[in-house]
Chains A and B, each alone.
Chain A
Amino acid sequence: MNRSTLILFLLLIFLCSNIHAQYNISAEDNVLTKKERDKLERVIDYQLDFYRKVFPEDSIQSSTVKLIIFNSYTVYLLYQKEQGITHRLNSFGFYSPKKKEAVVCKDKNKERFMETAYHEVSHFFTNTYFRNIPVWLNEGLAVYFAKLRVTTKKIAPEQYRYYTDKVKTMIKIRDINLNDFFTWRHQRFAKESCTNDSYGYAVAYAVVRFMIEKDKKLFINFIRQIKSGKSARESFEIVYPKGFEGFEKDFIQYYSKNN
């Protein structure tokens, strides 16, 4: 290898490392391992790529993606309080609208820390792109992106079986009313999720997963309708073959068939 090839090679490595280091990720006490940082950056790439497809005209700069990782639970709680966010039990991440950043705590959450980080990064994107996103879509996307499986070769969504199983059971016991569900505001969504075995999260995730697996382009179109201020029902009427009823029928059929 001659000198110029070597320089070119080193330059290429530098550029590649810079591509992955373009996000604003700050980790307290260097709590993030190299492997974790690499995975995290790849997942941010993946999510950013998704939103660039949804809103190509409104693409955000990589450098604005901001994620803060805390190593100490106490410091994390203090920071959360500073942001005026109410702490929920067993919650290790949040999005701060005040600072426009995703915040995650690794302390006491080592096993699910990466999942929490992917989840909060999704909230960063949805809060950046939307002025007022419906709670079900916000949480559905966050759960979907939180379940990404990252290997050295690829990133692929993994099924959140607990939630899909729950939806299957709910369909079986006729305990699902999508028309009503899409109108839920934050308070109702939180209450139904807390007092009924994660009801809201399970249905929200199941809808997002179904739409992405059925037809990604159709889902992108659906999200654009929602951003333009249309309700979920109106958006389905516009983008989905046979409208809302067609969607409801296909959704129930999809999860009744062991998916």
Chain B
Amino acid sequence: MKKNLIFLFCFLPLFFGSLTAQLRPVEIKISYEVDGSFSFNSLNYDFCEYYVNINFPEINGYTTRGSIPYYGTIDTTPRKLLTIKRLSDAFSYGYTWNYSYYRGSIYVDLNLDYLYALPVKSGDSIRISRSNGHDLELVFNLRYAGDTVYACRSGMVCNNNFDIYASRVNKFTVYHKDKSFSEYSGYVSALVYPGHFVNIGDPILLVKSDEKGEKSVKFKTYFLDKNKVKNPDTGYKYTPFLPLFHTVNAGDVKPGENITYIAGISEKMIMQELSKSELKKFEKNKK
């Protein structure tokens, strides 16, 4: 009994720690360096890149290594972004600072030829409509498909479990190689967790029929838009886009409404965006 209590006592904090969401996905922390300078270091708790801006509304008596304000993309590895050092001959010195960030990278290289897969099993049929949302959100009607949702595109599953991402709760976000995102919502549970890489066609989510027997999942694709980030008057910094979907019966299409599409994944689709070594492995496994 005593042993059990000790065990519980030791692991309880860990358990609660994992349940408590981190406030922000990105933090900039200041470290005091041995040469007397201050460095500004990034910590990214998510699994995708972020575009970060560090501002210094006031700064006197310091020299900087790196230009200020700082603008740059950070990945998940902690990194020193900027250093400031007090000038020895300065009469007065001091600074104020703040930072902001956006999920994604403005250096998007959108792969518009990427063929997305329909989110159902090969051979199953699906209908697609547009939701009333303002950002090109599609509604996949899964009435004639199973309960599993399959990944439309390969990528890293992002972490939406941050306090400031309250609006992203119950959304499944995937960060792609070309720095765009896809986001699924309206599902009941996820089969894959943040930090995992999903391949096109992998099972990722489960859906459930409603009282009318309707089953659907919402889907959208977007990227951090450089033009919007550079415009201070703009609130929402992302641009939606409609990708090309591969269908068995209608070819590669930007989906239209009131059309039934049949899903299928070709080898060419699986091989999209694979690195040389991954391609080699893929070819080897085929044999």
Interaction A to B: yes
Q: Which residues of A contact B135 (CB under 8 A)?
A: 195-197
* Whole-angstrom CA separation of A165 from B237 in the bound complex: 11
Q: Does A64 contact B (CB under 8 A)?
A: no
Q: Are A197 and B239 in contact (CB under 8 A)?
A: yes
| A168, closest chain B residue (CB) | B227
Q: Which residues of A contact B132 (CB under 8 A)?
A: 194-195
Q: Does A52 contact B (CB under 8 A)?
A: no
* Whole-angstrom CA separation of A175 from B234 in the bound complex: 21
Q: Does A227 contact B (CB under 8 A)?
A: no
Q: Does A1 contact B (CB under 8 A)?
A: no
Q: A195 contacts which of B131, B233, B236 (Cβ < 8 Å)?
A: B131
Q: Does B228 contact A (CB under 8 A)?
A: yes
* Whole-angstrom CA separation of A196 from B274 in the bound complex: 31
Q: Which residues of A contact B227 (CB under 8 A)?
A: 165-166, 168-169
Question: What range describes how many residues of A lie at the interface?
Answer: 10 to 19
Q: Does A173 contact B (CB under 8 A)?
A: yes
Q: Which residues of A contact B188 (CB under 8 A)?
A: none
* Whole-angstrom CA separation of A174 from B233 in the bound complex: 25
Q: Which residues of A contact B225 (CB under 8 A)?
A: 165, 169
Q: Which residues of A contact B137 (CB under 8 A)?
A: 195
Q: Are B134 and A175 in contact (CB under 8 A)?
A: no
Q: Which residues of B contact A81 (CB under 8 A)?
A: none
> Digit string of A171-209 for contact with B (CB within 8 Å is 1, else 0)?
011110000000000000001001111100000000000
| A195, closest chain B residue (CB) | B130
Shortest CB–CB separation between residue B229 and chain A, in angstroms?
A: 10
Q: Which residues of B contact A196 (CB under 8 A)?
A: 134-136, 240
* Whole-angstrom CA separation of A166 from B134 in the bound complex: 14
Q: Which residues of A contact B136 (CB under 8 A)?
A: 195-197
| B241, closest chain A residue (CB) | A173
Shortest CB–CB separation between residue A176 and chain B, in angstroms?
A: 12
Within 8 A of B (CB), among A215-255: none
Q: Does A14 contact B (CB under 8 A)?
A: no
Q: Are B231 and A162 in contact (CB under 8 A)?
A: yes
Shortest CB–CB separation between residue A158 and chain B, in angstroms?
A: 11
Q: Are B134 and A161 in contact (CB under 8 A)?
A: no
A residues with CB within 8 A of B = 161-162, 165-166, 168-169, 172-175, 191, 194-198
11 of the cross-chain contacts (CB-CB < 8 Å) are A165-B225, A165-B227, A165-B231, A165-B234, A175-B242, A195-B133, A195-B134, A195-B135, A195-B136, A197-B135, A197-B136
Among all A-B residue pairs, the 8 with the closest Cβ atoms:
A165-B227, A195-B130, A196-B136, A169-B239, A161-B231, A169-B225, A169-B227, A173-B241
